[in-house]
Structure 1
Amino acid sequence: MSDSPVVGVVGADADAVVAAVESAGARATAGTAKRVVEDSDAVVAVGEPALLAVARTGTDAPVLPVAAGPGVRSLPREEVATGVADFVAGDYERVPYPLVDVHVADRTRATALFDLMLVSAEPAQISEYAVERGDDRVARFRADGVVVATPAGSSGYASAAGGPVLTPDTDAVAVVPVAPFETDIDHWVLPPAGLSVSVERDETTVHLLADDRVVGPVEPHEAVHVAPAGSVSLALVAAGRSPFPPA
């Protein structure tokens, strides 16, 4: 970074991060994602909600995630002093993490960094779901829901449901049934372009979720289309957490 860079800090309980930025010789400015990214050379996002808010701004600045989960190799809070010092000094790897847009009825309904999900509004209510890519029917199955996870989100809910963990350079998403009726069922790693998921039966209300937001209900046979939506540039420092479990 340049001399005395301005580092924006977004998120709750960020006093230690602000202090670490200033101790490393940079100027810190704290506030909402929209305000901070306009005036900063780089950004520290503290917590998953802050990282999602920063990603949605479309910023090109490098973003250091703190306590935002292993899927983005985020910096643990106990390593803030060391990790922020490396960030300010430029000692990090800048890696683009892909975003996806979600389209329903030809409208962009949401942008996701981690995942999108179709899931029954009531717990333990099964419906039928379809996965398609272009003209190909990939699968049809009965389950509580289906999650489509980006590389950043693949180590979260999708992994807990049995899906694979993807590295950020993987040009694909993981598609994973949630609590499927059949126990021996596939999971799929597919390019996001041309991908769609849908509800196939009018049995129960199904909601579309994108990251931390409930987008709204989805009607039966209404395709939810996924499309690449650029990326957010994350700064990976040596003290960041790996998305893979320790050996």
Structure 2
Amino acid sequence: MSTRSVGVVGDESVAELLRDDDWTVECRTDGSVPGTDFVLAVGQRAFASVARAVTDSVVLPIDAGRGVRSVPRDSVRKAVGSLADARTERHHTLSVVRGDERVGEAVWDVTLVTEDAARISEFGVETPTDTIDAFRADGTVVATTAGSSGYARRAGAPVLSPSPIVAVAPIAPFATNPDHWVVPIEELTLTVERDEATVTLLIDDTPTGTVDRGEPVTLSPAGTVRVAVVDESRPRFT
């Protein structure tokens, strides 16, 4: 790097650690992103805020999950010192529209789930050209590559490498041998096919209201975030 300057989002103590090593650090804890070439995002919440921001910075995730190959906190000093030689991966985010209203941007995943786990509903998944499936379940989750090692993995979906694709999985399906799907991020529509139970829409695990029967939840490309990968980055698949 031409200068010893980085940004930090999410944890002042990491900024102080780097200042002790004579780095110039611009720290943010208010949701904004420093205007530096490299930004350290400490924790999943900080990484998500940086990923949603309009920024050209390369992001080094710190303790932000395996899906983005984050660096353990105790390896921050060494990882920052090797940023000049880092390679980058691009992770894609999802625009979420319920009906005609844009309700958010997903960095990790989008979930439709019944409020009462003891009651199942029926969910439909389709693209502009194909009906993928309709199934009875407690819900369905669509995960980005960054989120594919999280809840979607526990629901049976595969872990994905960074690319413009998503993983789709039923949650607690009624079928004994359910399918899971990997599809391109172009446009994906989720619907509730029955009104037997109240269904909640969650974006990155945050509830954003309910979804009525037949009301489309449309997912489409929103943006990308460049993630730095260094020797200290955790492996994605193990």
Could you say which TM-score interval applies, normalised by the shorter chain?
over 0.9
Residue 29 (1) aligns with residue 23 (2):
no
Residue pair 1:101, 1:108 contacting (<8 A) in 2 also: yes
Does structure 1 conserve the Cα–Cα contact (< 8 Å) formed by 2:194 and 2:213?
Answer: yes
Q: Select 1:117's aligned residue among 111, 118, 123.
A: 111
Aligned-partner SS, 1:235: strand
Which residue does the alignment assign to 2:7?
8
* Structure 1 residue 34: Cα displacement: 4.2
Q: Check conservation: 2:52, 2:223, Cα contact below 8 A.
A: no
1:102 matched residue in structure 2:
96
Q: Which runs of no fewer than 5 residues in structure 1 stay unpaired?
A: none
- SS of 2:85's equivalent? coil
Q: 1: CA distance between counterparts of 2:167 and 2:230?
A: 26
Letter in 2 for 1:91: D
Deviation at 1:217, TM superposition (A): 0.7
> What's the CA shift for 1:107?
2.4
Partner of 1:127: 121
1:66 aligned partner: 62
Q: CA deviation at 1:139?
A: 0.4
Aligned to 2:207: 214
**Residue 216 (structure 1) shift:** 1.2
1:181 corresponds in structure 2 to 174
Question: What amino acid is aligned across from residue 82 of structure 1 in structure 2?
Answer: K
Distance (whole Å) between structure 2 residues aligned to residue 50 and residue 100 of structure 1: 17
Instruction: Tell me the TM-score normalized by structure 1.
Output: 0.91
Structure-2 separation of matches of 1:58 and 1:22: 26
* Distance across 1 between alignment mates of 2:91 and 2:143: 12
Tell me what 1:51 maps to.
47
Letter paired with 1:168: P
Query: After superposition, what is the alpha-carbon deviation per residue over 1:172-200, rounded to whole angstroms, capped at 9, x for unaligned?
Result: 11000011011111101111212111111
Distance 1:96-1:200 versus aligned 2 partners, 3 A rule: same
TM-score scaled by structure 2?
0.94
For residue 36 of structure 1, give the secondary structure of its aligned residue in structure 2. Answer: coil
Does the CA contact (< 8 Å) of 2:7 and 2:38 recur in 1?
Answer: yes
Kindly indicate whether residue 235 of structure 2 is the aligned counterpart of residue 242 of structure 1: yes
Q: Secondary structure at the match of 2:47?
A: helix
Shift of 1:203: 1.1
1:85 pairs with one of 77, 81, 85: 81
How far, CA to CA, are the matches of 2:117 and 2:10 in structure 1?
31
Tell me the distance in 2 between the aligned counterparts of 1:36 and 1:161. Answer: 33
CA RMSD after TM alignment: 1.6
Q: CA deviation at 1:149?
A: 0.5
SS in 2 for 1:165: coil
Within the candidate set 153, 161, 173, 2:147 is matched to 153
Note the C-alpha offset of 1:131.
0.5
CA drift at 1:85: 1.9
Cα displacement (A) at 1:165: 0.8
State how many pairs are aligned. Answer: 238
1:174–1:35 distance in 2 versus 1, CA, 3 Å: closer
- The alpha carbon displacement at 1:31 in A equals 1.9
Give the aligned residue type for 2:228. Answer: A
Q: Bigger shift: 24-33 or 54-63?
A: 24-33
Alignment partner, residue 158 of structure 2: 164
CA distance in 2, matches of 1:41, 1:191: 30
Structure 1 match to 2:189:
196
Distance 1:51 1:33 in 2: 13
Cα separation, partners in 2 of 1:68 and 1:138, compared to 1, 3 Å: same
Identity, % of aligned pairs?
45
CA distance in 2, matches of 1:36, 1:155: 25
Cα distance in 1 between the residues matched to 2:53 and 2:25: 19
Q: Distance in 2 between matches of 1:107 and 1:70?
A: 32
Higher mean displacement: 69-78 or 23-32: 23-32
